[in-house]
A and B are shown apart, each in its own frame.
Chain A
Amino acid sequence: MSNLLTLSGVHTHIGAYHILHGVDLVVPANQLTMLLGRNGAGKTTTLRTIMGLWHASQGTVTLDGVDITKQPTPDTVQSGVAYVPESMGIFSDLSVRENMLLAARGARTLDDIDTTRLEWIFGLFPAIKKFWLHPAGKLSGGQKQMLAVSRAIVEPRKLLLIDEPSKGLAPAIIQNMIAAFRELKAAQTTILLVEQNFNFARQLGDSVAVMDDGRVVHSGSMAELAADEAMQSRLLGLSLGSHQ
């Protein structure tokens, strides 16, 4: 089992603040790795550092054997990474259609997008099809979330970095999302997913890494963590276990 993404001793500073204190993380290929932890643990910062939106002050980030630590964001993305930020990054004044078109880098016009893929996305997230020509800003929070994920999967990618996708989604849609991620895994996509909802996480994750105070404090298989309630409450706090 090879690792698609490796972080080694990564430190990140934002201005005067030292957020990541030596993160060591491996993301195995073709698996879904969950990144868990309390608010402020550094999960989003880790994703942004991988993306190159914030640069690591120390340490290395390796993607598929290539050192991408100092790479500018567009180059990293072009190596096959897609990012769904916590704020979703929806372009409100553009239509849903235009948002999707932008995300399909290979496409000059809408016809260039793989129709089977589009149909698959429509099947997963019907709202995308329903509001195709509407300005994306008019969508509800949950629908925007769907759009954000749809954008990331409109073309095949090696690695998906996703920050809290289940926020604000109805349970039925969450199930659709889980199904989508499972299909993606099968299609040779690696996923690194940040989540607060442990119930969502346990259904999907193969591996898990838990962060606290800018470090990875636990990593291992999801099955192991899911079975051990004591470890869950120790690492994630009692409150999370009650999110059903």
Chain B
Amino acid sequence: MTLLKADFDWKPLALVPALALIALPAVGSGSTWITLTVAGLAMGMIIFIIASGLTLVFGLMDVLNFGHGVFIALGAFVATTVLASMTSYTQADSLWLNLMALLPAMLVAMAVAGALGWVFERLIIRPVYGMHLKQILITMGGMIIGEEMIKVIWGPGQIALPLPESLRGSFIFGDAAVEKYRLLAVLVGAAVFAAMVWTLNRTKVGLLVRAGVQDREMVESLGYRIRQLFIGVFVVGSALAGLGGVMWGLYQQTVLPQMGAQVNVLIFIVIIIGGLGSTTGALIGALLVGLMANYTGFLAPKVALFSNIALMVAILLWRPQGVYPVTNR
């Protein structure tokens, strides 16, 4: 965003620390609060990685993809296979060796998810451009098929995805325990966000995406073949979902074929809060959702999912199109 400093709408950004601060007295203990907050930020970052692609697909292509979950699950399952074949690396207590295993796992997961994304766009999405109802129905169908195919390939049960040795455990800061993996998740998420913001703001492709989210037709009228841009964004979005799936799987330490559908609901809440088409909005939404889930998980576990819905409703009452609505729609 090249908005001038005076123009920047900082209110939504302030929601994140606001939520954290409100939770502090509720949680009581400072050290627990630190643990929960880091956990919330980590979860939020992972959700952001997954949601970032989806919000751009919605914003740019006006495509309602209810099947985004399939890329999450696929990425996670691919990672289990890759990591299982590299146990010598993952079980060694060396950060370097562990990363040498983790990085290929992530890259392969992204590549496979991205490839599936290309196929998905071609077979499932392309025939129903502009038809929202059919998109919802068909992408759901696509996700069912994907989930079942995962069961065919990897079996219907859950598979363990243990953390590599050196990423287990926590750093202790006084009374507070901060899990090592969660710190890594925050770093990865921040890196993805930075990369996205850089691409969107400093490259011509990014410029095209931002313009296309506002007015697809005008971008075409300026001579750009927006179809190819669509495909690119969809593939990148799917690859990111795959990456998110790997990280989510490691966060939970197990993967299930249904995990896509489970995370799907959270993703939708996030992009509704953020505003369709807004990357920063997705980040804020994701962080809020992550923090909320962890605080309520500690304070009142039974209402965890409802708390996120309540959060979404509250935000929609404030800004019906999400915190950073994209204009011109």
Q: B326 an interface residue at 8 Å Cβ cutoff?
A: yes
Contacts of A101 in B (CB 8 A): 204, 207
Q: Are A133 and B217 in contact (CB under 8 A)?
A: no
Q: Are A89 and B218 in contact (CB under 8 A)?
A: yes
Q: Are B210 and A74 in contact (CB under 8 A)?
A: no
Q: B31 an interface residue at 8 Å Cβ cutoff?
A: no
Contacts of A93 in B (CB 8 A): 1, 210, 214, 326-328
Complex: how many Å from CA A97 to CA B201? Answer: 12
Stretch in B106-114, B223-231, B247-255, B313-321 with 4+ CB within 8 Å of A: B223-231
Complex: how many Å from CA A74 to CA B225? Answer: 6
Q: A85 an interface residue at 8 Å Cβ cutoff?
A: yes
Complex: how many Å from CA A33 to CA B82? Answer: 65
Q: Are A89 and B221 in contact (CB under 8 A)?
A: yes
Contacts of B7 in A (CB 8 A): 135, 138
Q: B211 an interface residue at 8 Å Cβ cutoff?
A: yes
Q: Are A94 and B210 in contact (CB under 8 A)?
A: yes
* Nearest-neighbor residue (CB-CB) of B202 within chain A: A109
Within the complex, which residue of A83, A91, A98, A105 is in contact with B215, where a contact is CB–CB below 8 Å?
A91
Q: A240 an interface residue at 8 Å Cβ cutoff?
A: no
Shortest beta-carbon distance from A167 to chain B in Å: 18
Q: B304 an interface residue at 8 Å Cβ cutoff?
A: no
Q: Are A53 and B207 in contact (CB under 8 A)?
A: no
Q: B196 an interface residue at 8 Å Cβ cutoff?
A: no
Which residues of B110-147 have CB atoms within 8 Å of chain A's CB atoms? none
Complex: how many Å from CA A104 to CA B142? Answer: 39
Complex: how many Å from CA A108 to CA B202? Answer: 11
Q: Are B207 and A77 in contact (CB under 8 A)?
A: no
Q: B208 an interface residue at 8 Å Cβ cutoff?
A: yes
Contacts of B220 in A (CB 8 A): 53, 72-74, 77
* Nearest-neighbor residue (CB-CB) of A157 within chain B: B223
Contacts of B327 in A (CB 8 A): 92-93, 137
Q: B14 an interface residue at 8 Å Cβ cutoff?
A: no
Q: B3 an interface residue at 8 Å Cβ cutoff?
A: yes
Q: Are A77 and B211 in contact (CB under 8 A)?
A: no
Contacts of B217 in A (CB 8 A): 53, 89
Complex: how many Å from CA A89 to CA B327? Answer: 12
Q: A180 an interface residue at 8 Å Cβ cutoff?
A: no
Shortest beta-carbon distance from B322 to chain A in Å: 14
Q: A182 an interface residue at 8 Å Cβ cutoff?
A: no
* Nearest-neighbor residue (CB-CB) of B220 within chain A: A73
Q: Are B226 and A74 in contact (CB under 8 A)?
A: yes
Contacts of A108 in B (CB 8 A): 204
Contacts of B4 in A (CB 8 A): 133-135
- What are the interface flags for B1-17 relative to A under an 8 Å C-beta threshold, 1 for contact and 0 otherwise? 11110010000000000
Shortest beta-carbon distance from A188 to chain B in Å: 19
Q: Are B211 and A74 in contact (CB under 8 A)?
A: no
* Number of residues from A at the complex interface, CB < 8 A: 29
Within the complex, which residue of B3, B225, B226 is in contact with A135, where a contact is CB–CB below 8 Å?
B3
Within the complex, which residue of B207, B215, B224, B326 is in contact with A74, where a contact is CB–CB below 8 Å?
B224
Q: A78 an interface residue at 8 Å Cβ cutoff?
A: yes
Contacts of B3 in A (CB 8 A): 135
Q: Are A78 and B223 in contact (CB under 8 A)?
A: yes
* Nearest-neighbor residue (CB-CB) of B221 within chain A: A83
Q: Are A85 and B221 in contact (CB under 8 A)?
A: yes
Known: A91-B215, A91-B328, A133-B4. A98 touches B221 (CB 8 A): no
Known: A74-B220, A85-B221, A92-B327. A102 touches B208 (CB 8 A): yes
Contacts of B226 in A (CB 8 A): 74
Q: B153 an interface residue at 8 Å Cβ cutoff?
A: no
* Nearest-neighbor residue (CB-CB) of B1 within chain A: A93
Contacts of A134 in B (CB 8 A): 4
Contacts of A118 in B (CB 8 A): none
Shortest beta-carbon distance from B230 to chain A in Å: 13
Q: A127 an interface residue at 8 Å Cβ cutoff?
A: no
Which residues of B1-48 have CB atoms within 8 Å of chain A's CB atoms? 1-4, 7
Complex: how many Å from CA A133 to CA B215? Answer: 20
Contacts of A77 in B (CB 8 A): 220-223
Complex: how many Å from CA A214 to CA B204? Answer: 39
* Nearest-neighbor residue (CB-CB) of A52 within chain B: B220
Contacts of A89 in B (CB 8 A): 215, 217-218, 221
Q: Which of B207, B221, B222, B328: most chain A Cβ within 10 A?
A: B221
Q: Which of B4, B7, B222: most chain A Cβ within 10 A?
A: B222
Q: A58 an interface residue at 8 Å Cβ cutoff?
A: no
Q: Are A94 and B211 in contact (CB under 8 A)?
A: yes
Within the complex, which residue of B1, B214, B223 is in contact with A91, where a contact is CB–CB below 8 Å?
B214
Q: B197 an interface residue at 8 Å Cβ cutoff?
A: no
Given A77-B220, A137-B327, output 13 extra A-B contacts at Cβ < 8 Å.
Answer: A53-B217, A53-B220, A73-B221, A74-B224, A77-B222, A83-B221, A89-B218, A91-B215, A92-B328, A98-B211, A102-B204, A102-B222, A109-B204
- The 6 A-B pairs with the shortest beta carbon distances in the complex, nearest first, are A77-B223, A89-B218, A95-B2, A73-B220, A74-B225, A91-B211
Residues of B participating in the A interface, judged by any CB pair closer than 8 Å? 1-4, 7, 204, 207-208, 210-211, 214-215, 217-226, 326-328
